Amino acid sequence: MDINDVSDDTQMMSTDSPGSAEKVSRRSLLQTTAAGTLAGITGLAGCQGGTGGSQSNVEPISQDSLTIWHAMGGSNGETLQALADQFQSETGISVNLVFQDSYEGVLTKTLGALESGSVPDLAQIDSLFAQQVLNTGAVEPVEELLSDDFPADDFLPNVTSFFTLDGTLQSMPFNNSNCIMYYNKSAFEAAGLDPESPPETISEVRQYSETLVDEGVTDFGITWPNHVWFVETWFSNDGQFLVDAENGHDGSASTLTVDNDTARKLYEWWRGMAQDGLYSNPGIEAWGEASTTFLTENAAMLLTSTASVTSTRTQAAENGFEVDTAFYPTVDDDRVGPVIGGASWFASAGLSDERRGRIGQFLEFMGSTEAQIQWHKGTGYYPIRESAIGQLEGEGWFEQNPMYRTAFDQLTQAEQDPATKRMLVGPARQIQTTIQDTSVEIFDDKVSIDQGISNMKSTAAEEFERYSSN
């Protein structure tokens, strides 16, 4: 999730090719991995505020081309268009990519389309909103659109596990990421800090920030947009759930589980950083503002998505400083692992078999080794295929471009812990807003930390109840 986009197993395999004898059926894969999936989520159709219309009256927006709604802007959008053009050239299947400004824009329009019955073929849905779309009962599991010999076993299991429900792949992961730290190596050197040893914990972030500011190198130590994804990542790295029922992956969540030491330590640090002028607050969901603060050298550290690697590296060079990436700083010394952000492709249900076949072809193309490599190099999102990683390793890509490796290493070194799965809840936007708004109140010292946590829990409980009653 970079400014416009809004969020590995290192056993390398040889690059697959069509017709490879080593391919394993997608169905056999999903059956064998069912134990590690999002089990326990109850009934999709008609539950928890679903809006799904009648599938008997579903029609695609265009009969002439696949209509695909997405949220990729800037250079990421250009890379996506290049892939779509390649697919169209190779298959003769017309594709119309339609930019919807943001993930929330895609969500809002998709929910309306599913209700009306005039639907896009695919929609790129932010992982945060996955449950809300599933609850419509108007989307088809992408597993049903993939050919039996599609090499689904080549997918990274710690990525696909989020998008799998009861042993069935519900949506196709595509642009996936985690939060990392970018830092200005030139500023570190100027402040007398070791540019090869970035901070690993939030307390070290404060120490580095104090030095940077005291030495007059930058106005602030660090910046990041106030977004729930960062809070989720601090919780997951500390092995804590943000909501009950294992972040909504073991039943329906109904409680915000923020009354713990992780939250108190985080908010005490965050408030202190803000009050002491060490943290630059760009605003709620202010991705662009945070990046600008970093790229103009007003802050020496930036927390944001690995999807920003390509653009950040380019712009830092243009602005005359050296940038590098590091693991996301943890609350304590323990590091369990990050939650996965980004989005996946959801397919509309109720379309003709011929239409479904074309959608499946597009999904298989976008999930291919070659397409995933192109997507990774053009954006910074990590590929979801082990074979892609193997090919990148073989060509020396990561040795020549180490910034792109950070997110992989952070993912592959993570524990297989339920806490690393992003929250899966119906009222995701409401819970997101509750956490973000209350975070501002806490670090602006409008409420105490304990009162802020209490307010978060009570407001979230109301939102869960409101959603479940609709």
126-140 as b/e, with b when 16 or more CB fall inside 10 Å? bbbbbbbbbbbbbbb
Residue of higher predicted confidence among 22 and 205: 205
Same domain, 192 and 150: no
The pLDDT of residue 51 is: 36
- Tell me the mean pLDDT in the region 125-149: 95
Q: Which of 329, 361, 395 is the last residue of a domain?
A: 395
Longest dimension (CA), the chain: 67
Same domain, 311 and 425: yes
The pLDDT of residue 55 is: 52
Does residue 330 belong to any structural domain of this protein?
yes
Does residue 217 belong to any structural domain of this protein?
yes
CA atoms in the 13 A half-sphere facing the CB of 307: 26
- How many angstroms separate the Cα of 207 from the Cα of each of 40, 182, 185, 214, 275? 43, 17, 16, 11, 15
pLDDT band at 315 (very low <50, low <70, confident <90, very high): very high
User: 225 and 304 in contact (C-beta within 8 Å)?
Assistant: yes
3-state secondary structure of 432: helix
User: 355 and 122 in contact (C-beta within 8 Å)?
Assistant: no
User: 384 and 172 in contact (C-beta within 8 Å)?
Assistant: no
3-state secondary structure of 98: strand
* Own/partner long-range contacts of 372-379 (Cβ < 8 Å, ≥24 apart): 374/79, 374/82, 374/83, 375/79, 375/80, 375/83, 375/174, 375/175, 376/404, 377/310, 378/75, 378/76, 378/78, 378/79, 378/82, 378/310, 379/75, 379/76, 379/79, 379/175, 379/307, 379/309, 379/310
pLDDT band at 161 (very low <50, low <70, confident <90, very high): confident
Q: Which tens digit of pLDDT belongs to each residue from 363-412?
A: 999 999 999 999 999 988 988 899 999 999 999 999 999 999 999 899 88
Q: What are the phi and psi torsion angles at 93 (to 5°)?
A: -90, 120
The first and second tokens of residue 201, run together, are 């914990």
Same domain, 208 and 164: no
- Tell me the mean pLDDT in the region 94-103: 96
pLDDT surpasses 70 at 40? no
Same domain, 269 and 191: yes
The pLDDT of residue 343 is: 95
Does residue 118 belong to any structural domain of this protein?
yes
Residue of higher predicted confidence among 307 and 225: 225
User: 194 and 229 in contact (C-beta within 8 Å)?
Assistant: no
Q: Which tens digit of pLDDT belongs to each residue from 278-308?
A: 999 999 999 999 999 999 999 999 999 998 9
**In whole angstroms, what separates CA 444 from the centre of its chain?**
28
Where does 13-73 have alpha helices with state H? 26-32
Does residue 129 belong to any structural domain of this protein?
yes
Q: What are the phi and psi torsion angles at 284 (to 5°)?
A: -70, 125
3-state secondary structure of 384: coil
Alpha-carbon gap, residue 362 to 142, rounded angstroms: 11
Alpha-carbon gap, residue 33 to 40, rounded angstroms: 15
DSSP state of 201: B
The pLDDT of residue 239 is: 96
Could you tell me what percent of the chain has a pLDDT over 90?
A: 78
Mean pLDDT of the chain: 88
Same domain, 379 and 430: no
Same domain, 310 and 186: yes
Same domain, 250 and 161: no
Same domain, 184 and 171: no
- Tell me the mean pLDDT in the region 23-30: 36
**In whole angstroms, what separates CA 6 from the centre of its chain?**
8
Could you tell me what percent of the chain has a pLDDT over 70?
A: 88
Does residue 156 belong to any structural domain of this protein?
yes
Q: pTM of the prediction?
A: 0.85
- Tell me the mean pLDDT in the region 422-440: 96
Residue of higher predicted confidence among 5 and 341: 341
| Type of residue found at 405 | R
pLDDT band at 56 (very low <50, low <70, confident <90, very high): low
Does residue 432 belong to any structural domain of this protein?
yes
pLDDT band at 2 (very low <50, low <70, confident <90, very high): very low
335-373 as b/e, with b when 16 or more CB fall inside 10 Å? bbbbbbbbbbbbbbbbbeeebbebbbbbbbbbbbbbbbb
Same domain, 154 and 198: no
The number of distinct structural domains making up the chain is 2
Where does 278-333 have alpha helices with state H? 287-295, 309-318
Q: For the chain, what's the residue count?
A: 470
- How many angstroms separate the Cα of 451 from the Cα of each of 243, 258, 259? 18, 12, 10
Does residue 84 belong to any structural domain of this protein?
yes
CATH code of the domain containing 376: 3.40.190.10
Domain that holds residue 370: 26-177+340-395
Q: Which tens digit of pLDDT belongs to each residue from 234-269?
A: 999 999 999 999 999 899 999 999 999 999 999 999
Same domain, 218 and 100: no
Does residue 403 belong to any structural domain of this protein?
no
The first and second tokens of residue 220, run together, are 């602030």
Same domain, 109 and 236: no
- Tell me the mean pLDDT in the region 90-108: 96
- Tell me the mean pLDDT in the region 48-76: 78
User: 173 and 126 in contact (C-beta within 8 Å)?
Assistant: no
Q: Which tens digit of pLDDT belongs to each residue from 165-183?
A: 888 999 999 999 999 999 9
Q: Which neighbouring-strand residues pair with 181?
A: 303, 326
Same domain, 87 and 161: yes
**In whole angstroms, what separates CA 54 from the centre of its chain?**
31
